[in-house]
Amino acid sequence: MSESEGCCKCCCSFILTLGLTALFLWLSLRTDKPKCSIEYFYLPALNKSLNSQQNTSIYFILQLNNPNKDKGIRYENVNLTFSVLDNLNKTHQIGYKTIGGFYQGHNKKAKKKDFVETRGFNGTAVSGEALNNKTVVFRVDFATAVKYKILLWFTKRHKLMLGANVVVDSSGEKVDQKKGIRLKSCAPEPGGYYSAQVAFLVNLLIITFSNFRLRS
Ligand SMILES: *[C@@H]1O[C@H](CO)[C@@H](O)[C@H](O)[C@H]1NC(C)=O
Ligand SMILES: *[C@@H]1O[C@H](CO)[C@@H](O)[C@H](O)[C@H]1NC(C)=O
Ligand SMILES: *[C@@H]1O[C@H](CO)[C@@H](O)[C@H](O)[C@H]1NC(C)=O
Ligand SMILES: *[C@@H]1O[C@H](CO)[C@@H](O)[C@H](O)[C@H]1NC(C)=O
């Protein structure tokens, strides 16, 4: 074996090791965003059988899932904004609730059961619609920031802005109460920070590697 051939082999295995390390690093640093949903949504003011517009609160259950198998999530305060849509689809803010920040272990589910007092919500006018078997559409906007815990360290802060429409019928509950409503991202976020960097690195390594093979 000539000296240059040996050097090349050594170089190739070095690059291969580096590539595998980068791949492993990418796999262990990759994070999945929490999955959030509205599991329950009820307004007594819209309950046709109750016939009472006194209680203008919204009772809800917010579910937060950490889909990461080995990373925890620290949530900052979760800001929830509740709005009602008029017949031109314009939103009118009627309530605001903050849920205290918390830490969630890997693969854990959290259910936050709470209620919000609404303001400026014309229960009678809107319930008139619901009582006539027309549905009323609400909007829930969710804003928080999270940090992921990888081993002992926390990543930088990532903002999380989600939202969904909730359709309520004349029972006062959201339609199809058994199914949760997934809160979807409303602000386009810059794609995976780590993944873009590592993908670039891996590409560079592959190009270098194939160049070596061509020459030898
Ligand atoms: C609506 O009110 C009736 C009468 O109080 C009650 O039995 C029913 O459970 C309420 N509906 C919901 C969805 O809670
Ligand atoms: C409001 O939105 C719904 C669903 O997106 C749509 O079907 C409806 O036509 C909209 N109404 C107006 C007035 O834009
Ligand atoms: C609303 O729907 C229920 C059953 O779906 C029906 O019995 C009732 O007559 C309807 N009411 C109006 C005002 O349309
Ligand atoms: C939530 O609301 C608080 C107080 O209004 C604010 O300081 C914080 O920045 C909000 N969080 C997000 C992620 O918007």
- Residue 131 CA: nearest ligand 3 atom is 13
Q: Which atom of ligand 1 is nearest to the CA of 47?
A: 1
CA distance 18 to 16: 5
Closest approach atom of ligand 2 to CA 87: 13
Domains belonging to the chain, first-starting first, are 32-206 (2.60.40.10)
C-alpha–C-alpha distance, residues 179 and 116, integer Å: 21
Residue 88 has a pLDDT of: 81
- Taking the mean position of all CA atoms in its chain, how far away is CA 116? 21
Identify the pLDDT of residue 23. Answer: 84
> What is d(CA 111, CA 38) in angstroms, rounded to the nearest whole number?
10
Return the closest-CA partner of residue 2 out of 10, 38, 48: 10
The pLDDT score that the predictor gives to residue 55 is: 83
Average pLDDT over the chain, rounded to an integer: 84
Query: What ligand is nearest to the CA atom of residue 41?
Result: 1
DSSP state of 44: G
Write out the H or E segment, with its range, that includes residue 158.
Answer: strand 158-168
**Percent of residues, the chain, with pLDDT higher than 70:** 80
Answer whether 79's CB lies under 8 Å from 101's CB.
no
- Burial class of residue 62, CB neighbours in 10 A (0-12, 13-18, 19+): buried
Cross-strand pairs, 174:
168
pLDDT digits (tens, 9 = 90+) for 161-177: 999 999 998 888 999 87
Residue minimizing CA distance to atom 3 of ligand 3: 133
Ligand 1 contacts CB of residue 2 (under 6 A)? no
Mean pLDDT of 50-67: 88
pTM of the model: 0.77
Q: How confident is the model at residue 30 (pLDDT cuts 50, 70, 90)?
A: confident
Q: Between these two residues, 134 and 208, which has the higher pLDDT value? A: 134
Looking at per-residue pLDDT, the higher value among 101 and 24 belongs to 101
pLDDT score of 129: 72
